[in-house]
């Protein structure tokens, strides 16, 4: 008997399959296992994870890794992917003439405009000009309320700005009610003596004046040029219940414009250019005009040029090549909106800007997996070889799914790329690697929700949501109500949570419905588009309807909603699709590792 192991090193997961070849040449599958990929895919650090997975898979057979006769690796390179996000509108970097804020607990109702005066300077004011009082957190709410009440008998106070989260506490103690803005973290950035305006809308309503560029212009007597500059401030305050806008002194405005830029897509005989400002849809249309992409470049000195340069530098480091040797051979662009921090803000204010998420893929001149095989053979003493192209091995493994027939296609939905392969009745295989998969979805979720935690974005991608409506019940995203016998921890109360193994609360003000929509749309933008793109490239005459079966494999095929999305989309083409069930026991996992063993025996 001959003991063999198939090893599939992916971007996120390393999967192994153990088999035994009898003296008559028949293959028997023994066991399988998987582990998190150690290091970047295609680097020698992968060997640690490979050996760990092999040891686990061999444990039940009481075999050691050294007892294997051969280890078969997938030809994982030569494609390596990366993702990035950039605003695609013209970026204006400026210490703005205006700074704005949106606290969650304002006090009072109304609009007040006046000169900024700090609470410690109240005694020095002798005129009746309108003033807005500013108080740092070193003053208690009782002291602030007392000083404001006394000062109103001498000067005209139109509003209050607080550093602490005490707007309601101060408001309740005022003899004459005023609009109050609190939670201004960087209160020391507010200049003395400049004009400012605070606005607090009635409950259930949003501000009207400070979210309107012309409203701000009216309050501060701005020129048309100044009005143009404060548009990002007004946009950032749309839909808010409260805001403060402060006019900074003249001379502080420093502006630099960075264009979105053009993409230059080079083919063997001609090149096309795509204006990034036109959005992802137009970019992808231009991409389809070049049948065989040799390289993609971004216009120098622009947002997209800077983004692609950074991606090429990252990929050059991974592949140990010079940047000049890195050629992008596929790209997926996705439209989205992201919160952009406003320069000059006093509390990290943001406004939503149109952006594009890009996944790029390069073809390397070296084969990194050869180095992995050499090191693995040296560490284990077992003959190790590169046995087959990833997508081709996956389609062989997919045949073991019950209910499939030739011709059969697979979509391998991974972390960095979407791979596809078609096996026809004559045994011929057509395969393709495309940029964009699970990592891009995570990036879209993270950026659009303004998260600083990719782990949380990954959890939002993988699990359903719920709203904790009391300490004893939650409402799931599908409307189902779930009750608990024991009270939930108070930290979950009123929060949107991810229903992972344990509840994960989501910071921020986004509703469950908004998070749900962003998650679904992100998956559609990446996986549905790439599924159709990939199938067109491998189908005879690029006609998707000629493919009867599509088996979904890979880590993202385990997702609780992506396979259903693809099934619904492919049903328009009368294609049977669904999660694979490799060897009737692995589900969509282990297709490549299984295919490596089948190819070795059959080859």
- Is the bond into 407 cis (omega within 30 degrees of 0)? yes
Residue 39 pLDDT exceeds 90: no
Q: What is the mean pLDDT of residues 365-382?
A: 84
Residue 577 pLDDT exceeds 90: yes
Q: Radius of gyration over alpha carbons of the chain, in Å?
A: 30
Question: Helix or strand or coil: residue 207?
Answer: coil
The predicted pLDDT at position 313 comes to: 82
Residue 26 pLDDT exceeds 60: yes
| Fold classification of 1-77+367-401+581-603 (topology level) | Nucleotidyltransferase; domain 5 (3.30.420)
Question: Helix or strand or coil: residue 257?
Answer: strand
Does residue 503 contact residue 490 with C-beta atoms inside 8 Å?
Answer: no
Q: What is the mean pLDDT of residues 141-169?
A: 91
Q: Residue 195 and residue 49: Cα distance in Å, rounded?
A: 62
Q: What is the mean pLDDT of residues 394-399?
A: 93
The DSSP code sequence of 142-191 is HHHHHHHHHHTTTSEEEEEEESSS-HHHHHTT-SS---EE---TTGGGSP
Q: Which residue has the tokens 């249309």?
A: 285
Structure tokens at 581: 């069930």
Tell me the β-bridge partners of 386: 73
Q: Which residue has the tokens 């439209």?
A: 335
Q: What is the mean pLDDT of residues 343-355?
A: 62
CB atoms within 10 A of CB 307: 21
Does residue 213 contact residue 227 with C-beta atoms inside 8 Å?
Answer: yes
Backbone φ, ψ for residue 55 (5° rounding): -60, -40
- List pLDDT tens digits, range 399-448: 999 988 889 999 999 887 898 999 988 888 899 889 889 989 998 999 88
Q: Residue 143 and residue 295: Cα distance in Å, rounded?
A: 66
Asked if the domains 82-91+257-363 and 96-253 are classified in one and the same CATH topology, the answer is: no
Domain 403-580 has CATH 3.40.50.720: no
Range with lowest mean pLDDT among 9-18, 258-267, 313-322, 383-392: 313-322
Question: Helix or strand or coil: residue 497?
Answer: strand
Q: Residue 363 and residue 93: Cα distance in Å, rounded?
A: 35
By CB neighbour count within 10 A (0-12 exposed, 13-18 middle, 19+ buried), where does 499 fall? middle
Domain 82-91+257-363 has CATH 3.90.470.30: yes
- List pLDDT tens digits, range 191-227: 888 889 999 999 888 899 998 999 999 998 888 888 8
Q: Where do the domains of the chain lie?
A: 1-77+367-401+581-603, 82-91+257-363, 96-253, 403-580
Range with lowest mean pLDDT among 35-44, 88-97, 136-145, 593-602: 88-97
Q: What is the mean pLDDT of residues 496-512?
A: 92
CB atoms within 10 A of CB 541: 6
| Fold classification of 96-253 (topology level) | Glucose Oxidase; domain 1 (3.50.30)
Range with lowest mean pLDDT among 234-238, 282-286, 518-522: 234-238
**What b/e sequence results for 315-329 when a residue is b if at least 16 CB atoms lie within 10 Å of its CB, and e otherwise?**
bbebbebeeeebbbb
Q: Greatest CA separation found in the chain? A: 105
Any idea what DSSP says for residue 209? S
- List pLDDT tens digits, range 57-69: 999 999 999 999 9
**What b/e sequence results for 37-58 when a residue is b if at least 16 CB atoms lie within 10 Å of its CB, and e otherwise?**
bbeebbbeebbebbbbbbeebb
Q: Report the percentage of the chain scoring pLDDT > 90.
A: 53
């Amino acid at each position: 008997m001959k003991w063999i192991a198939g090893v599939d090193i992916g971007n996120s997961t390393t999967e192994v399959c153990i088999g035994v070849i009898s003296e008559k040449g028949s293959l028997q599958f023994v066991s399988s296992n998987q582990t998190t990929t150690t290091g970047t895919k295609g680097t020698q650090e992968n060997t640690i994870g490979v050996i760990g997975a092999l040891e686990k898979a061999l444990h039940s057979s009481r075999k050691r890794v050294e007892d294997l006769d051969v280890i078969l690796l997938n030809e994982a390179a030569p494609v390596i992917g990366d993702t990035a996000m950039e605003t695609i509108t013209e970026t204006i970097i400026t210490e703005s003439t205006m700074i704005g804020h949106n606290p969650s607990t304002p006090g009072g109702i109304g609009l007040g405009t006046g000169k900024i005066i700090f609470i410690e300077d109240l005694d020095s004011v002798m005129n009746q000009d309108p003033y807005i009082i500013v108080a740092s957190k070193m003053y208690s709410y009782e002291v602030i309320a007392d000083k404001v009440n006394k000062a109103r008998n001498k000067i005209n106070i139109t509003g209050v700005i607080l550093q602490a989260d005490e707007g309601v506490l101060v408001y309740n103690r005022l003899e004459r009610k005023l609009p109050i803005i609190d939670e201004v973290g960087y209160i020391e950035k507010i200049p003395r003596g400049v004009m400012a305006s605070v606005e607090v809308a009635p409950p259930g309503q949003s501000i009207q004046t400070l979210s309107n560029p012309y409203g701000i212009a009216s309050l501060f007597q701005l020129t048309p040029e100044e009005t143009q500059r404060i548009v990002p401030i007004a946009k950032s305050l749309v839909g808010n219940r409260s805001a403060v806008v402060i006019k900074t002194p003249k001379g502080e405005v420093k502006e630099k414009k960075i264009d979105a830029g053009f993409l230059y897509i080079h083919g063997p005989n001609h090149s096309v250019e795509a204006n990034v400002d036109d959005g992802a849809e137009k970019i992808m249309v231009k991409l389809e005009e070049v049948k065989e992409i040799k390289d993609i470049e971004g216009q120098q000195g622009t947002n997209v040029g800077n983004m692609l340069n950074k991606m090429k530098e990252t990929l050059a480091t991974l592949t140990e090549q010079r940047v000049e040797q890195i050629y992008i051979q596929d790209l997926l662009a996705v439209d989205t909106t992201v919160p952009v921090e406003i320069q000059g803000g006093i509390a990290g204010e943001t406004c939503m800007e149109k952006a594009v998420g890009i996944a790029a893929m390069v073809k390397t001149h070296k084969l990194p997996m050869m180095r992995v095989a050499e090191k693995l053979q040296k560490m284990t003493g077992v003959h190790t070889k590169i046995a087959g192209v990833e997508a081709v091995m996956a389609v062989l493994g997919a045949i073991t799914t019950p209910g499939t027939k030739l011709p059969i296609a697979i979509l391998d939905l991974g972390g960095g790329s979407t791979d596809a392969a078609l096996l026809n009745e004559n045994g011929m295989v057509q395969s393709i690697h495309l940029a964009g998969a699970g990592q891009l979805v995570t990036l879209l979720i993270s950026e659009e929700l303004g998260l600083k935690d990719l782990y949380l974005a990954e959890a939002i991608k993988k699990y359903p949501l719920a709203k904790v409506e009391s300490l004893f019940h939650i409402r799931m995203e599908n409307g189902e109500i779930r009750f608990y016998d024991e009270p939930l921890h108070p930290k979950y109360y009123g929060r949107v949570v991810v229903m992972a193994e344990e509840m994960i609360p989501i910071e921020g003000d986004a509703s469950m419905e908004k998070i749900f929509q962003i998650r679904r749309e992100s998956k559609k933008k990446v996986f549905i588009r790439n599924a159709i793109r990939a199938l067109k490239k491998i189908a005879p005459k690029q006609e998707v309807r000629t493919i009867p079966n599509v088996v979904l494999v890979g880590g993202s095929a385990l997702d609780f909603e992506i396979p259903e999305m693809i099934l619904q989309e492919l049903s328009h083409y009368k294609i049977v699709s669904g999660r694979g069930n490799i060897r009737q026991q692995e589900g969509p996992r282990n297709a490549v590792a299984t295919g490596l063993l089948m190819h070795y025996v059959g080859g």
